[in-house]
A and B are shown apart, each in its own frame.
Chain A
């Protein structure tokens, strides 16, 4: 899998590249700015770009804007946003438009190499990845008469994983249950939350995120 890494901090960028190579990925480019990132994505056409939210010159949301641009101009390249902070509303704004080929993870996640590469692969293949902390924050925002309260603990676990962008198969492996059992839970969850049933992973995460955001 071909990867471009964008982070203005040299240590982080190099460390990240070293880790990804360690995981057997092909780091085809490293960049310290959003402009450089766009150039490298256009020339190398990587499967996925790993992008820091804050980059020069303003150190605010250059990474996010670059991510949107990559997604609209180079749909074949997935984007994994890395953030130092838990910025739930930022993540939601980004993913709720289109979760396809897009991920948002805290920077710390990179040290759990297996989880990180699997999330990267998902995004590269057009799927989604949402940081577990973001998901649990969304789920903990209790609303009055919230149908979330009617979920069983198991259903809640499944919902969290769905919101993180995992497939039924991945969820089944994680929870050590059968794919059929996961399907059953998902159907039940969607029924309880009054969401339209769908088999499409992408539409599924959008529906869930839209529900949680409301």
Chain B
């Protein structure tokens, strides 16, 4: 709707210009074109950045700029009067535009004061002026209270000086803002500078007129040209992506390198060309933000010139970028940078997780080695103290028997008999030892092995093996040792009356569960036996869980992936 309206208004303004004067100068044409320029650029900006008020303000400037020339041509004294009253209203949104760029919001008090001043100057004072003004050319002033040229002139002069002061204040604020911005961001604030320049020229024009009495033709020309260009500057400033292109390439290269926590913030600062940028991580445990060194970071207050952009991953707060407020007006760039940062942070998180996993792995590997060493040492000790000693004494007994077999056959016979007992005991000991190394029963399947385990147990064990075919060998061995260790623990601590062992295969997982009705209270972080079991199960990619409420029995469950 606004497009044809704007086009019509501009067209009408131009046509009227030519009709009324007949010899329109280039300056006049340019002056009228200012409105159209603002409307066109404003509408484009509005369309591309609906969330940004800059486009709205520009469109408003354009329409208000055309209001006076159009209204005064309408053949109605009301319209004419209104045209006179509204002649300078366009300055209000223009000031807001310059001061509010790039968001269109007035964030500081001085901004709001200046704009309010312009409202006072162009609305209140203007109306006051019109109250006492007799329009030239016989037009009727519908607001006329009493025609008094003296009062009107006085109001007019005051209004003009007041206007100059406001304009200069705006220029000072705009330029100061530009200077204060970090160098890379100054480009972003160029429209503010251009607007300030237009305002300055406008102020000079007014001063000149006040001093000399007639408008300066030259400065009018310059003003008209500048005013036509200003909306273009704003539009360009709002839509350009220059900053993005250069910075993003560097960002991607930098992130592909080593996205480590301490310099991720620096990389982002460089990409966004804001050296003041700070990357702060959300610490859920402390419910606050902290930088990579752990120093707490406060979020910036509104109007402080700094803004926070939040990084969320899967709905969880991860980090925040605290940066110059001007950057908020490059939302696409910020979005891309945040996405890159999110990726980098995610990668970092995965790497940290990986490191932790590797550490855990190294720990369990070391424990496995130690467990192996311990087992071997125990085996050696068992052999040394048991079978070997028996065999040595056996050899000695036989040697003695040999010596006596001639002259004392009875004694020799006794020696041989005791030697036979020794030998039988040695064999039994060796069998026990061998079972500790590898349960030979496993060769006949896990069920047979577990049955023999259950038979040897001193308490009743009910066994349920729900398997259709055999498990892979390492899994069978692990299942056997889980059962064996669990039964040993039950015997030692649980004071249980029954134990149930259940082995099954479920969704590619081999599951063994050993449940007793004993006293409970087992702690898997305490016993080295359970830790060793957990290492064995984890080495096969599985997991071991112990549920053991005090007084509520113990359920030990091990799950291991078994392929099918």
User: Do the two chains belong together in a single complex?
Assistant: yes
Interface status of B1 (Cβ within 8 A of chain A): no
Across the interface, do B389 and A111 meet the contact criterion of CB distance under 8 Å?
A: no
Give B195 Cβ to nearest chain A Cβ, in Å. Answer: 91
- Checking A9, A19, A108 against B385 with a beta-carbon cut-off of 8 angstroms, the contacting residue is A9
Query: How far, in whole Å, are A14 and B393 apart by their CA atoms in the complex?
Result: 9
Across the interface, do A110 and B385 meet the contact criterion of CB distance under 8 Å?
A: no
Interface status of B384 (Cβ within 8 A of chain A): yes
Across the interface, do B422 and A59 meet the contact criterion of CB distance under 8 Å?
A: no
Across the interface, do B395 and A111 meet the contact criterion of CB distance under 8 Å?
A: yes
- Checking A22, A59, A84 against B388 with a beta-carbon cut-off of 8 angstroms, the contacting residue is A84
The chain A residue sitting closest to B389, CB to CB, is A9
The chain B residue sitting closest to A17, CB to CB, is B396
Interface status of A195 (Cβ within 8 A of chain B): no
Interface status of B130 (Cβ within 8 A of chain A): no
Query: How far, in whole Å, are A177 and B324 apart by their CA atoms in the complex?
Result: 104
| Residues on A with beta carbons closer than 8 Å to the beta carbon of B214 | none
| Residues on A with beta carbons closer than 8 Å to the beta carbon of B385 | 9
The chain A residue sitting closest to B381, CB to CB, is A59
In the complex, per-residue mask of A92-130: 1 if CB is within 8 Å of any chain B CB, else 0: 000000000000000110110100000000000000000
Give B82 Cβ to nearest chain A Cβ, in Å. Answer: 111
Across the interface, do A19 and B381 meet the contact criterion of CB distance under 8 Å?
A: no
Across the interface, do B381 and A15 meet the contact criterion of CB distance under 8 Å?
A: no
Across the interface, do A19 and B396 meet the contact criterion of CB distance under 8 Å?
A: yes
Across the interface, do B392 and A15 meet the contact criterion of CB distance under 8 Å?
A: yes
| Residues on A with beta carbons closer than 8 Å to the beta carbon of B397 | 15
Interface status of B390 (Cβ within 8 A of chain A): yes
Across the interface, do B393 and A15 meet the contact criterion of CB distance under 8 Å?
A: yes
Query: How far, in whole Å, are A11 and B388 apart by their CA atoms in the complex?
Result: 11
In the complex, per-residue mask of A76-87: 1 if CB is within 8 Å of any chain B CB, else 0: 000000001100
Across the interface, do A15 and B396 meet the contact criterion of CB distance under 8 Å?
A: yes
Across the interface, do B396 and A18 meet the contact criterion of CB distance under 8 Å?
A: yes
Interface status of A205 (Cβ within 8 A of chain B): no
Query: How far, in whole Å, are A16 and B397 apart by their CA atoms in the complex?
Result: 9
- Checking A11, A108, A111 against B390 with a beta-carbon cut-off of 8 angstroms, the contacting residue is A11
The B interface is mostly helix, strand or loop, or mixed, namely helix
Query: How far, in whole Å, are A4 and B403 apart by their CA atoms in the complex?
Result: 22
Give A86 Cβ to nearest chain B Cβ, in Å. Answer: 13
Query: How far, in whole Å, are A15 and B418 apart by their CA atoms in the complex?
Result: 12
Interface size class of B (residues with CB under 8 A): 10 to 19
Interface residues of A in 9-43 (CB under 8 A from B): 9, 11-12, 14-16, 18-19, 22
| Residues on B with beta carbons closer than 8 Å to the beta carbon of A22 | 400, 403
Give B438 Cβ to nearest chain A Cβ, in Å. Answer: 24
Across the interface, do A108 and B392 meet the contact criterion of CB distance under 8 Å?
A: yes
Interface status of B399 (Cβ within 8 A of chain A): yes
- Checking A11, A14, A84, A113 against B399 with a beta-carbon cut-off of 8 angstroms, the contacting residue is A113
The chain A residue sitting closest to B388, CB to CB, is A84
Interface status of A54 (Cβ within 8 A of chain B): yes
Across the interface, do A12 and B389 meet the contact criterion of CB distance under 8 Å?
A: yes
| Residues on A with beta carbons closer than 8 Å to the beta carbon of B396 | 12, 15-16, 18-19, 110-111
Query: How far, in whole Å, are A110 and B400 apart by their CA atoms in the complex?
Result: 11
Give B226 Cβ to nearest chain A Cβ, in Å. Answer: 95
Query: How far, in whole Å, are A22 and B398 apart by their CA atoms in the complex?
Result: 13
| Residues on A with beta carbons closer than 8 Å to the beta carbon of B388 | 84
Residue of B384, B388, B389, B397 ringed by the most chain A CB atoms within 10 A: B389
| Residues on A with beta carbons closer than 8 Å to the beta carbon of B399 | 19, 110-111, 113
| Residues on B with beta carbons closer than 8 Å to the beta carbon of A11 | 389-390, 393, 422
The chain B residue sitting closest to A54, CB to CB, is B384
Give A63 Cβ to nearest chain B Cβ, in Å. Answer: 13
| Residues on A with beta carbons closer than 8 Å to the beta carbon of B389 | 9, 11-12, 84
Query: How far, in whole Å, are A11 and B422 apart by their CA atoms in the complex?
Result: 10
Across the interface, do B395 and A12 meet the contact criterion of CB distance under 8 Å?
A: no
| Residues on B with beta carbons closer than 8 Å to the beta carbon of A113 | 399
Residue of A9, A11, A12, A15 ringed by the most chain B CB atoms within 10 A: A15
Give A90 Cβ to nearest chain B Cβ, in Å. Answer: 15
Across the interface, do B393 and A108 meet the contact criterion of CB distance under 8 Å?
A: no
Query: How far, in whole Å, are A113 and B400 apart by their CA atoms in the complex?
Result: 10
The chain A residue sitting closest to B384, CB to CB, is A84
Across the interface, do A9 and B381 meet the contact criterion of CB distance under 8 Å?
A: no
Query: How far, in whole Å, are A12 and B422 apart by their CA atoms in the complex?
Result: 12
Across the interface, do B395 and A18 meet the contact criterion of CB distance under 8 Å?
A: no
The chain A residue sitting closest to B393, CB to CB, is A11
- Checking B381, B392, B400 against A18 with a beta-carbon cut-off of 8 angstroms, the contacting residue is B400
Query: How far, in whole Å, are A42 and B422 apart by their CA atoms in the complex?
Result: 35
Give A16 Cβ to nearest chain B Cβ, in Å. Answer: 7
Across the interface, do A15 and B384 meet the contact criterion of CB distance under 8 Å?
A: no
| Residues on B with beta carbons closer than 8 Å to the beta carbon of A84 | 384, 388-389, 392
The chain A residue sitting closest to B386, CB to CB, is A9
Give B564 Cβ to nearest chain A Cβ, in Å. Answer: 47
Query: How far, in whole Å, are A18 and B77 apart by their CA atoms in the complex?
Result: 145
| Residues on A with beta carbons closer than 8 Å to the beta carbon of B400 | 15, 18-19, 22
Query: How far, in whole Å, are A59 and B395 apart by their CA atoms in the complex?
Result: 23
Query: How far, in whole Å, are A59 and B378 apart by their CA atoms in the complex?
Result: 12
Give A190 Cβ to nearest chain B Cβ, in Å. Answer: 37
The chain A residue sitting closest to B400, CB to CB, is A18
Across the interface, do B395 and A9 meet the contact criterion of CB distance under 8 Å?
A: no
Across the interface, do B381 and A107 meet the contact criterion of CB distance under 8 Å?
A: no
In the complex, per-residue mask of A50-89: 1 if CB is within 8 Å of any chain B CB, else 0: 0000100001000000000000000000000000110000
Query: How far, in whole Å, are A108 and B400 apart by their CA atoms in the complex?
Result: 14
Whether A108 touches B381, Cβ cut-off 8 Å, given contacts A9-B389, A11-B389, is no
| Residues on A with beta carbons closer than 8 Å to the beta carbon of B392 | 12, 15, 84, 107-108, 110
For the A-B complex with A15-B393, A110-B399, A111-B398 known, give 8 more contacts whose Cβ atoms are closer than 8 Å.
A9-B393, A12-B396, A14-B393, A18-B396, A19-B396, A19-B400, A108-B392, A111-B395
**Residue ranges of B at the interface with A (Cβ–Cβ < 8 Å):** 381, 384-385, 388-390, 392-393, 395-400, 403, 422
20 contacts between A and B (CB under 8 A): A11-B393, A12-B389, A12-B393, A15-B393, A15-B396, A15-B400, A18-B396, A18-B400, A19-B396, A19-B399, A22-B403, A84-B384, A84-B388, A85-B384, A108-B392, A108-B395, A110-B395, A110-B399, A111-B395, A111-B399
Of all A-B residue pairs in the complex, the 8 with the closest CB atoms, nearest first, are A15-B396, A11-B393, A15-B393, A111-B395, A9-B389, A111-B399, A12-B393, A107-B392
